Chain A
Amino acid sequence: MMTPGARPAPGPLALGAVLVVALVLPLLLKNFVVFQLTLVMIYSIAILGLNLLTGFNGQFSLGHSAFYAIGAYTAAILMDRWDVAYYWTLPVAGLACFGFGFLFGLPALRLEGIYLALATFALALATPQILKSSPLEPFTGGVQGIVILKPDPPPGLPLNADQWLYYFTLAVLLVLFAGARNLVRGRTGRAMLAIREHPVAARLMGINTALYKSLTFGVSALYTGIAGALGAIAVQFVAPDSFTFLLSVSLLVGLVVGGVGSIAGSVVGGLFILFVPNIAEQVSKGLAGAVYGLILLLVIYLMPSGAAGFARLLWSRVVRRTHAPTVTEGRIP
């Protein structure tokens, strides 16, 4: 008999199977679909960044489009102005975003919940304007943005550019996801969870909440920034209006759909935000937004803990049988 609360994990076997499929797919699919899957992975990394902040540390952000933009522009400027190789842009973008994130996190510490959401909302709205502004134009290319070239695969490999980018992104994703897993399971992760659950108690236990909160912001921004850099490389183009508040909203939607606090769920989130808007448009061109909204509502009603929560629920139903006593639900105040 299972002890209540114990849930056996689907295990490394399922993970291995997914990995094999992921490795084989680009060889079987059309270039455009490979490109789309690359974008899915990029969004997943961005969502994971947001997850680290919101899911594990309980801080809200509606402003991650800003960090994605910073990462994207960093990569574009390095590649276009200074001929830096594409793979070096990733760590630079990551570090730059870590810096910005940490600096934003410092004052943002003082804000809680909805106030933080509001401040980050303002950040997201301001970003395109700042990118278009005249003082920064020599760097950012103003409204027109910057165009960059897709990287070639290393000589000798029988892959085309899209396929190479896919594998490159996959490798980065695996490294980053493993990193996130270690972070969450280690001492840092436990500290982050403690801060989320009960900030005052955490502080009394000696956890330097201020430092951890800022660090978490920094790491979260780092992840999303790297995703931004990859995004710039994949799309071959950056412009201010690609990084509006709508991107932040998409990332948040991806987070909730995948499951807050679930690393694997970030991939489901990525799949959702790339493909579902297209599906909505196919259902009804004129009412695409309304269809999308309805799908979103269905998701939060039927799967309140996201895809990850739903999967867990299914798994526990399969594994154990429950006996419910006849009780009446009182209203819990």
Chain B
Amino acid sequence: MKQENALFDDVLKAAPEDFLRSWLSEAEQSGESASLAKTATHDAREVMSSLQEALRADADLTRFDDAAWGRTRAVLSELSQSRAAQGASAGETSYFVLAIKKPLFAGLREALAASPQRAFDALWAASTLIDRMAQWTATTYQRSREDVIQRQQQELLELSTPVVKLWEGVLAVPMIGTLDSSRTQLVMEALLTRIVETGSELAIIDITGVPTVDTLVAQHLLKTVTAIRLMGADCIISGIRPQIAQTIVHLGIDLQGITTKATLADALQIAMKKAGFVVTRAAA
């Protein structure tokens, strides 16, 4: 084992329970909530054991990205993920890791009391290593939160663009909210897939819930319609409010022969007619 690694390992194995206690009490200073304190001890032990494993495998203290530190990284990822899920803040999570400095520095200072220069070097190495560990923890934390947010966004997006079957061969998509490119992508994918699955030849896109239609939005709509037509189906756009109609004319947007209707009801009527259905009211 390298000299410095051996030094660190000695500090860790000299009095592990004291080390642990000192670490945890320091971590509590950041105000870690009680529920986290339960897992804190287990987490700390895992970190300590992974550190010892890496040190003994002669891991390079300056290169935390090396394979030798793999288990430590994995342990830190896990604890940051679980803390993220439990609602701990990024600060609390990284402070937990930083708190190990207290017992580690104390141990090193004691071991090297006779040689201040070496002590400085060792403390510096320890500090850098722990900072990298905290950095890794913070990044993983960030990643987990972003994954959660992304998943929630996706669910929200999917919930707000349901494709419904209005009639035999007629599908409808009520669009609600602003129509941007990622929304359009989602609608296109969902709608086109359903068209193939149900063999529906007509899709009604209702834009009653779309607040504004500018050139960009119109482009997104046109793309969707073109894709539908390419596949061999057709499309009606309904829910065109008077203001939107004005905007469309003003901006000179060419709707390329797409049938447009003011209401979903009108669109359904046209769709049924196209599909060859006749609706009559039963005699009272």
Report whether chain A binds chain B. Answer: no
Residues of A within 8 A of B (CB): none
